[in-house]
Amino acid sequence: MAVLRITALAGGIGGSRFLRGLLRAAPDAEVTVIGNTADDITLHGLHVSPDLDTVMYTLGGGIEESQGWGRAGETFAVAEELAAYGAEAQWFTLGDRDLATHLVRTRMLAAGYPLSAVTEALCDRWQPGVRLLPMTDDRVETHVVVTAGDDDESADAAGDARERAIHFQEWWVRLHAEVPARRIVLVGADRAKPAPGVLDAIAGADVILLPPSNPVVSIGPILAVPGIRDAVRGAAAPAIGVSPIIGGSPVRGMADAALTAIGVPTTAAGVAELFADLLDGWLVDTVDAGATAAVEAAGVRCVAVPLWMTDVDAAAAMARAALDLAEEVRAR
């Protein structure tokens, strides 16, 4: 039997945990993961790629399970020394083990390797069991536009009317997404090109999956790279998504704050609508079974199954349900 080729678009923690389940549910599949790089940030001169690293560490067995990002068994000697110098940004902690990844990445980028080649080299060590591709080799950064003063920087003399754009990580990690976002801007996305292999992985897939990642700041930036959304929409393979919203709340993280910023309701049906142009199937949790009719009215086959990724078995059952839904819509 031919090997099943699966291409998934993924953000950080939710995407990684789903992918771990997928590898258990379909151990013989050939899986390509297109990772979000728009929350990459340069700190202390180092290029940090949180979502790529979260996928790589989770699937490679190196993740700190309790928080879902960073390295297991981490120590923080360098962070403590940096803090003693008062070196910013202290709200974003880089552990000692994790720093080695950023040092290698930054050194290779400085030597002229594109991020896709660097990611492949890093994955040589971690053997994540998937082909991990950044969405682009170009620089794309999510910035969040907030009202000056709300972010505790001093407001302009004219009052609070002025805006300030801050890096996504500052909004997410330092401000816990508690400061209202006026807009979310994907700086550089309009000029970015899909990384080598990305469009081929979409065109050549048997199934395309959208795991339960943040729809606005994880899946959104991947689809914003010119050519990617059209490729998914035009692909022969069914595209199946998994709702990151259960019962009106994000499964984890602060997706509600990001959805509010773009005027989309924090509901399983609201997120489905955001992707309705490219989705063939959408999984919602059993508590959202009442939403299936609205999703199907938008032309997307919708099935309710348990979506809490309490352990790898639960994630594998969700992945199995996504693959079954792909089979069902393909047979139509």
Asked if 5 and 29 touch (Cβ cutoff 8 Å), the reply is: yes
- Site residues (CB under 6 A) for ligand FO1, limited to 82-101: 92-94, 98
State both tokens at 190. Answer: 């309009």
Span near ligand FO1 by CB under 6 A; candidates 2-10, 158-166, 168-176, 240-248:
168-176
Cβ closest to ligand FO1, residue 258 vs residue 295: 258
State both tokens at 215. Answer: 């729809």
Task: Using DSSP, state whether 70 is helix, strand or coil.
Answer: coil
Out of 10, 12, 32, 211, point to the residue binding ligand FO1 (CB under 6 A). Answer: 12
**Phi, psi of 327, deg, nearest 5:** -60, -45
116 binds ligand FO1 (CB under 6 A): no
69 binds ligand FO1 (CB under 6 A): yes
- Tokens 């080799």 found at: 137
Cβ closest to ligand FO1, residue 57 vs residue 275: 57
Query: Mask 26-65, x = binds ligand FO1 (CB under 6 A)?
Result: -------------x--------x-xx-xx-----------
State both tokens at 45. Answer: 């001169």
CB within 8 A of 16, min separation 6: which ones?
10, 54, 55, 58, 59, 63, 68
CB within 8 A of 40, min separation 6: which ones?
47, 48, 49, 50, 139, 141
194 binds ligand FO1 (CB under 6 A): no
**Phi, psi of 47, deg, nearest 5:** -90, 115
Size of the site for ligand FO1 (CB under 6 A): 17
Closest CB 212 distance from ligand FO1, rounded Å: 12
Closest CB 41 distance from ligand FO1, rounded Å: 8
76 binds ligand FO1 (CB under 6 A): no
Asked if 284 and 304 touch (Cβ cutoff 8 Å), the reply is: yes
Closest CB 74 distance from ligand FO1, rounded Å: 10
Cβ closest to ligand FO1, residue 262 vs residue 289: 262
Nearest to 279 by CA among 226, 208, 212: 208
Closest CB 115 distance from ligand FO1, rounded Å: 15
Closest CB 259 distance from ligand FO1, rounded Å: 15
Whole-angstrom Cα Rg for the chain: 19
Cβ closest to ligand FO1, residue 13 vs residue 205: 13
Cβ closest to ligand FO1, residue 50 vs residue 281: 50
169 binds ligand FO1 (CB under 6 A): yes
CB within 8 A of 146, min separation 6: which ones?
163, 164, 165, 166, 171, 175, 179, 180, 181, 182
Closest CB 54 distance from ligand FO1, rounded Å: 6
CB atoms within 10 A of CB 293: 10
288 binds ligand FO1 (CB under 6 A): no
CA distance 139 to 62: 26
173 binds ligand FO1 (CB under 6 A): yes
Cβ closest to ligand FO1, residue 11 vs residue 270: 11
Cα dist from 252 to 50, 214, 231, whole Å: 16, 9, 29
Binding site for ligand FO1 (CB under 6 A): 11-12, 39, 48, 50-51, 53-54, 69-70, 92-94, 98, 169, 172-173
